[in-house]
A = this chain, B = another copy of it.
Amino acid sequence: MAAKGGSQGKRPQRPAGSLPSMEETGSEPALSIERIVATAVELLDAEGVGGLKMRRLADRLGAGAMSLYWHVDNKEQVFDLALDSVLEYRGTPQSIEAEDWRGAIFHMLEDWRASMLRHPWSASLLPRRALGPNILGRLELLGRILSRAGVDEADLNGAIWSLWNYVMGATLTRANFDLSDEDMLAGQQRLAHLSAEYPTIERARLLLDNDWDGVFRKGLGFLLDGLVPSR
């Protein structure tokens, strides 16, 4: 489950002739993994993880119900591909990366989180999915920057995973809690009735008062303080 094949299909690479970006010009362009993945992302954005059904995806592509199965092994693979497609990273210029490692890490990890929050379904998907090329690319970049910043070879994996854990937790929590502000409110109101049992978090209004972005940056800073020796 952790790191399966990336984007291999049974289908050979499509010849260079076809134009992927012709819009709905009467008849749809031919099916292709690219179109399937792009449309899957649209559908997931619009309806969430539960809204992605093979039939609806095919429908939206103007294709017959079961045509997808020629391009894709199964629904799992659609998830894998959609997830990785959303995590591309344009990267920081090498120059910045070299002189301001802290800024480079913050930039990449905040962008990671932002990318996932733009597609909230991706947060719940990522921990259970294959590591596609975009994800691996980000991990590689992270390792490189940390290494240059002075993290020992022996501590590198630990540092990478610590940051991964923090980013994943923060993003997942934020994505899910954010989906339902009313629920948070309801939860806090229920808490009020139980203030005898949960006085501290009730008084702090834990479920309401949150500067998620600020909290994220602050904790990330603390982690980096510890992980990277302050030469």
**Residues of A bordering B, CB below 8 Å:** 1-5, 124, 127-128, 130-131, 133, 136-137, 139-140, 143-144, 147, 153, 156-158, 160-162, 164-170, 172-173, 176-177, 179-180, 183-184, 186-188, 190-191, 194, 197-201, 204-207, 209-212, 214-216, 218-219, 221-223, 225-227
Within the oligomer, what is the number of copies of this chain? Answer: 2
Q: Which 8 A-B pairs have the closest CB atoms?
A: A3-B187, A222-B226, A169-B169, A165-B169, A162-B219, A143-B200, A168-B169, A165-B170
A-B contact pairs, 6 of them (CB 8 A): A2-B207, A137-B198, A160-B201, A160-B206, A165-B170, A223-B223
CB–CB B3/A186 < 8 A: yes
Contact across chains for B3 and A172 when beta carbons are under 8 A apart: no
Residues of chain B with a CB closer than 8 A to A216's CB: 165
Chain B residues lying within 8 Å of A207, measured Cβ to Cβ, are 2-3, 131
Cross-chain contact A127 with B172 (CB below 8 angstroms): yes
List the B residue with the shortest CB-CB distance to A162: B219
A183 touches B3 (CB 8 A): yes
- A204 & B153 in contact (Cβ 8 Å cutoff): yes
Chain B residues within 8 Å of A170, by CB? 165, 169
Given contacts A176-B2, A206-B160, A223-B222, contact A198 B165 (CB under 8 A): no
Complex interface: chain B residues within 8 A of A167 (CB): 169
| Minimal Cβ-Cβ distance residue in B for A221 | B226
For residue A105, give the distance in angstroms from its CB to the closest CB of chain B. 14
**Among A136, A162, A200, A225: residue with most chain B CB under 10 A:** A200
Chain B residues lying within 8 Å of A144, measured Cβ to Cβ, are 200
Q: Are B1 and A183 in contact (CB under 8 A)?
A: yes
**19 extra A-B contacts, CB within 8 A, seeds A139-B198, A161-B215:** A1-B180, A2-B180, A2-B187, A4-B187, A133-B197, A136-B191, A136-B197, A139-B206, A143-B201, A158-B218, A160-B206, A165-B166, A165-B170, A168-B169, A169-B170, A169-B172, A218-B226, A219-B223, A222-B226
Q: Is the CB of B1 within 8 A of A210?
A: no
